[in-house]
Structure 1
Amino acid sequence: MALVCNSLQKYAAFVVIVLACVCFPCAAHYRSAHRRHEARLRSGVEDQWFIQRLDHFNGADTRLWKQRYFVNDTFYRAGGPVFLMIGGEGPANPAWMQYGTWLLYAQKLGALCLLLEHRFYGKSHPTDRQALADLAHFRTVTAAKRGLTNSKWVAFGGSYPGSLAAWFRLKYPHLVHASVATSAPVHATVNFPEYLEVVWRSLAAENPECPQIVKKASDTLVDRLKDPKTYDNITKDFRLCSTLQIQSKMDSAYLLESLAGNFMDVVQYNEDNRAFEGAVGTNITIKVLCSVMLDSSLGEPYDRYAAVARLMQKTFSQSCINTQYESYIQDMSNTSWSGPEAGGGRQWVYQTCTEFGFYQSTDSPNQPFDGFPLPYHLQQCADIYNLSSSLDGAIQQTNEEYGGYDIRTTRIVFPNGSIDPWHALGVAKDITSDLPAVFIKGTAHCANMYPARAEDLPQLGLARDRIFILLQKWLAE
């Protein structure tokens, strides 16, 4: 993305849409991961509100709602482009309006910078899901007001917003000229055990013994959970917020998923250079995790597993971790906009229960964890939202609507990293010459979206170059 924005100055009459890169697994992992990565740089940017249609598909429905957005016009020059960053499955981060490489591009290109929050996340509070239509209407109205109707719009997105970028081009080709869909899980699936398979391979790429030791540790913990006499020690070892109690399979599954999330989270975002976003703890990498898991001086594999949990707690200033399933369900069932999960957790898990699935289960033997199979994930849909345990119809509808792996349109590039578990649901091979994939060996989630740095792998720089060349070609068409 850096090369794209720096090198397209001759295309003054185009608009760049940048969608934030956030994609978290469900349930416990969403809860812990989102809180780790939502660290925001406080800014003086004020909330602004776009009067949005509630229902874009019913002309008789005149109801409106207010969608939050932010503006930075510091660098804008008449005739310059517009950068529109669109939020994903969490509150829009106003820090993007003051920090980030995209502002350097804005300064060079004389761009107006906008950030649009995703419907029903953060402070944008309707209940019907029409995110793509919101995007289209915002683009149409903003273009008309600012004289940008004839400009070429390019959508950028990472993770779930990457899927939105691709689908925006698919559904509204007259409004968006091209898209860069980074780390985009475009194929919906109920069961996604491949996620943890990629975690195994990514750990093994650092050291072949690493995932094997993780598996031994996880298996040991599963065995100890069968004996209530071990619960006090487990509470101390992993610094749980309350004494461990296992009253159902859901209790043990929630604990096991929470602890596995330490590895899932680090693998997904390994060395992704998010520090410019205001995130903390990005120095914890696969290398760090494996060094702990391979350190026999720390004790048996189980002890090293607990050491990883304590390291994560220390890094993210957590005095303890809450692994009570009942507490989680209570928080997620709170429908108030001031509730503990109203920032995104409740909404995102609802989307997985009704649109995407994406459940990172332990149903494959080729991964290091155990104890949170598909039924555990599906039960949450029932416990939180009173939804059916079967999502097959909803998932089929999503793939019918957008095409899944077989999306058919033009001018979308799909960058993915080999370490990123989400690449298993993305486009890793060219669909057509006009729907190319850029598969980047050795990189993680959304790596090509972040600013270039000296430590970047050569193939990451080449990927940025290729994306630029494609955009340069497409914008000339």
Structure 2
Amino acid sequence: MEKFGAYIITTCLLICFTVYIEAYVPRMIRGRPRGGLLGAPGHKHHRKNLETRELPPDQWYTQKLDHFNGADGRYWQQRYFTNDTFYKPGGPLFVQIGGEGTADPIWMLEGAWIDYAQRYNAYCVQLEHRFYGKSHPTPDLSVDNLKYLSSEQALADLAAFITDLKSKQTFSSVITFGGSYPGSLSAWFRLKYPHLVQGAVASSAPLLAIVNFTAYLQVVDDALRSVVPSGACNDAVSTATSTISTDLTTLEGRQKLKKVFQLCDDIDPNIKTDISNLYSTLAGNFEGVVQYNKDNRAFEGAKATNITIDTLCGIMTDPSLGDPLQRYAEVNALLLKAYSQDCQDFKYDKMLDSMRATSWNSSASEGGRQWTYQTCTEFAFYQSSDATNQPFGHDFPIDFWTQQCADIFGASFNNTVIETAVKRSNTDYGALGIQITRVLFPNGSIDPWHALGVLEDLNPEARAIFINGTAHCANMYPSTPEDPPQLVTARKEISDTIGQWLRS
């Protein structure tokens, strides 16, 4: 215990000075962009306002390492933020649940939930998810330590934290908020700890764990067609993909691909995983843009927020830019520039090297390694190319994704383990058949993750809010004059429903 306590003190002194060792981690990996599935809130209309306000400081909660082993007496320091600006005695407690990335204190000043807090005089807290951001429960990210990373432990963290907070202050009710994976946590917390939370907003929450998430690329395909109904955008992507397949068969073709796509390395056609990774990376250019299309994340640190589906399809359907392959390469060049990358990595072994790193100062520790572990042990969610109706080819099939679990974490993480983990998660939480009340499930039609979410009311007190034309977690971001009417209506419904919960 003394050694572990000394580790905590050392970690708390050092984490503020951590510098990540750069290595190859894809911008989009398993549907997760670097930094986590939920981006920082903010918009050009809010920038000036935020620059004049101080972000809340880091605070630390002493948390149990293993909530399910009474004999384990180890503890660690979990980061959280508070904002009592709008709170009035006897008001509710609003809890923003952290997820698979660094908890951003900007959420304590911005976002739709802050508008709700102002309306209902709520005390706001945000708890960072264990193993992400600065919340380091263990000395490193070895497999032995990652066994303490799970949604169940995270829910128990929330329960302990909220219970302790309520013992020190009186709140009329507790409402939880979360987007994407934290959206699922918000619903599951209401399911597992109904005595601690009176209502939950579960935005863009994937409640169905699934190994082969083929619907992801099908929604991307639909999103492209929503911009160009003729299908010309999709057809151009499909033609470019076919051209890549042909060019890969000759040395001259491979040299051309390296040049036009600004690849960091030569292509070896005998390394199948490199080829799969190349196809997946190029598809990822479209996946990321579709997933966050026209959201309000344009704030310091958020990149490429001005690149939309319209931008990509505008390029793919512009014959002045060359043939479809050249246009596909132009999209890649646009994203490389937006993210300040000199070249496009695709080497599978380079990705494995980075994802195998167990140090807290490795590039994968920003969340890539941890989220991959959670997909291997709980949810899978693998966006394979096995769907028929999508234009990105079929060269990153489900086996490419499941093999990564064994390649990164060890041979014991095989297909049977993954399938068993997914089955257990769905059994534990109820998947789309979850029996729950006083929960809202907002989802956007453009968001590929909506395919795993609740799209129809489960009962009168567990309602779906389906927002046509919006992307991932769009309802959570600050409002802007450009918001479509259906998004404005959704936010009002959420706000009014919270009021009903608080009055009942």
TM-score norm. by structure 2 comes to 0.84
Aligned residues of 1:73 and 1:112 also touching (Cα < 8 A) = yes
Distance in 2 (CA, whole Å) between partners of 1:467 and 1:388 is 41
User: Is 1:30 the counterpart of 2:56 in the alignment?
Assistant: no
Find the partner of 2:484 among 457, 465, 472.
457
State the Cα distance separating 1:442 from its structure 2 match. Answer: 1.1
State the Cα distance separating 1:169 from its structure 2 match. Answer: 0.4
Residues 276/84 of structure 1: CA separation in 2 closer, same or farther (3 Å cut): farther
Q: Give the aligned partner of residue 468 of structure 2.
A: 441
How do 1:270-349 residues align onto structure 2 when only pairs under 5 Å count?
A: 270-276=293-299, 278-349=301-372
User: Is 1:212 the counterpart of 2:235 in the alignment?
Assistant: yes
Distance in 2 (CA, whole Å) between partners of 1:415 and 1:97 is 21
State the Cα distance separating 1:101 from its structure 2 match. Answer: 5.5
How do 1:106-121 residues align onto structure 2 when only pairs under 5 Å count?
A: 106=117, 111-121=122-132
State the number of aligned residues: 450
Q: Give the aligned partner of residue 256 of structure 2.
A: 233
After superposition, the C-alpha distances for 1:72-92 in whole angstroms (9 at most, x for unaligned) are 445555444443322111111
After superposition, the C-alpha distances for 1:393-451 in whole angstroms (9 at most, x for unaligned) are 11110000000110001111111111111111001111111111111111111111112
State the Cα distance separating 1:63 from its structure 2 match. Answer: 1.4
TM-score norm. by structure 1 comes to 0.88
State the Cα distance separating 1:350 from its structure 2 match. Answer: 0.8
Aligned residues of 2:439 and 2:461 also touching (Cα < 8 A) = yes
User: What runs of 5+ residues in structure 1 fail to find an aligned partner?
Assistant: 1-25
State the Cα distance separating 1:249 from its structure 2 match. Answer: 1.1
User: Is 1:143 the counterpart of 2:163 in the alignment?
Assistant: no
Distance in 2 (CA, whole Å) between partners of 1:108 and 1:365 is 47
Aligned residues of 1:200 and 1:367 also touching (Cα < 8 A) = yes
Residues 423/104 of structure 1: CA separation in 2 closer, same or farther (3 Å cut): closer
Distance in 1 (CA, whole Å) between partners of 2:489 and 2:108 is 28
State the Cα distance separating 1:343 from its structure 2 match. Answer: 1.2
Distance in 1 (CA, whole Å) between partners of 2:287 and 2:135 is 29
How do 1:63-462 residues align onto structure 2 when only pairs under 5 Å count?
A: 63-100=74-111, 102-103=113-114, 106=117, 111-126=122-137, 127=146, 128=148, 129=150, 130-148=153-171, 151-207=172-228, 208-276=231-299, 278-370=301-393, 371-386=395-410, 387-390=413-416, 391-462=418-489
State the Cα distance separating 1:216 from its structure 2 match. Answer: 1.2
Letter in 2 for 1:392: E
Aligned residues of 2:95 and 2:175 also touching (Cα < 8 A) = no
State the Cα distance separating 1:71 from its structure 2 match. Answer: 3.2
After superposition, the C-alpha distances for 1:124-154 in whole angstroms (9 at most, x for unaligned) are 1234130110011111011112233xx2111
Letter in 2 for 1:174: H
SS at match of 1:342: helix
State the Cα distance separating 1:173 from its structure 2 match. Answer: 0.5
Distance in 1 (CA, whole Å) between partners of 2:501 and 2:105 is 30
Distance in 2 (CA, whole Å) between partners of 1:33 and 1:328 is 15
Letter in 2 for 1:379: Q
SS at match of 1:274: coil
Q: Give the aligned partner of residue 71 of structure 2.
A: 60
The percent identity for this pair of structures is 52
Aligned residues of 2:207 and 2:452 also touching (Cα < 8 A) = yes
Distance in 2 (CA, whole Å) between partners of 1:202 and 1:215 is 15
After superposition, the C-alpha distances for 1:94-146 in whole angstroms (9 at most, x for unaligned) are 33345555556556655443221101112212341301100111110111122
SS at match of 1:262: helix
